[in-house]
Amino acid sequence: MITRPFLLHALSPLHAGTGHTADIIDLPTARMKATGIPFVPGSSIKGVLRDARRVADPEKTEAVFGPSNDPSAHAGALVVGDARLLALPVRSFRGTFAWVTSPLLLVLAQRDLETNLSIPDFAGRGALVPPTSACVHNDRLYLEDLNLPAEEFPNLAQWTEILGPLASPGEDIFTKRFAVVDDDTMTFLWETATQVDVRIRLNERTRTVAPGALWLEESLPPETLLIGLLAGDRSRRNGIAMTPEDVLSFALPKEEVLQLGGKATTGRGRCRLIPVPRKEDAHG
């Protein structure tokens, strides 16, 4: 089995929900139990990829994603991991917004990327930015209502060189808006800087809100970046020979724009899915 990381880039608000809760927000976005990190379930991503491939080649789709009519016939050859938050867009006093991450999120991303990149080390609250940052004002980074001391950290170039071309192909608007904050600040941001919308359903006769039909819905805002892993094994379907490399290339051959999560008919969940090439893939 071989793995390939992928980025999920939200182009519109993305609601990967967990159902109703008794909290203030009726329909919160999914979060990991132990860490609270927002994520999109791998099962949702796998279902969308399956639908995208079914028309082109139904037989290979059954081999890669598993048989739809007889699940006991054979196992699918593809494993789709959850897409976990990598960088959250946060409103900034300068530069409009910043793509904000933290040492914890970078460590987890480094594990998925199987790279050895520089991880910032924080002592207290603060922010690190590239020398080209467009978001710093008088050595401070203002995010929402937060006021953080900001320092330049040239080693962030290791991350922006990988993520910049993927998050912002063509003109690079990512590098000058990338920022790393301490883990405690990042936890506060992913709990409070998401998008919360009031949704209603009108009574067709009175054109007023129907009883019990007003609710709060949480989404990851547009420009959110998440990272996940695809894992490929050999095909087990009779008559369909595919190597692990073939499986990964069939599942996500190149960047695609697909619809994920709920509320698709209201424009939610439009996302870029981007395979991240390994260094050996880039040279091979």
pLDDT score at 21 = 56
Is 62 found in the same domain as 95? no
Containing structural domain, residue 281: 1-16+42-81+220-284
Domain count, the chain: 2
- Residue 34 in domain: no
Could you tell me where the beta strands, DSSP code E, fall in 106-232? 127-129, 136-137, 140-143, 146-152, 178-181, 195-202, 209-219, 225-232
Encode pLDDT of 38-72 as tens digits.
999 999 999 999 999 998 899 999 999 999 888 88
Do 99 and 180 touch, CB atoms closer than 8 A?
Answer: no
The CATH number that applies at residue 69 is 2.40.30
Q: Is residue 269 part of a domain?
A: yes
- Backbone φ and ψ of 32, nearest 5°: -70, 140
pLDDT digit string, tens, across residues 201-223:
787 788 877 877 787 889 999 99
CA dihedral over 121, 123, 125, 128, signed as positive or negative: negative
For residues 185 and 121, membership in a common domain is answered with: yes
Q: Name residues whose C-beta falls within 8 Å of residue 67's C-beta, 6 or more positions apart in sequence.
A: 73, 74, 76, 237
The answer as to whether 207 is a domain residue is no
Indicate whether 77 and 91 sit together in one domain.
Answer: no
In a domain, 233, yes or no: yes
CB 180 within 8 A of CB 156: yes
Report the Cα–Cα distance between both ends of the chain, in Å, rounded: 19
pTM of the model: 0.91
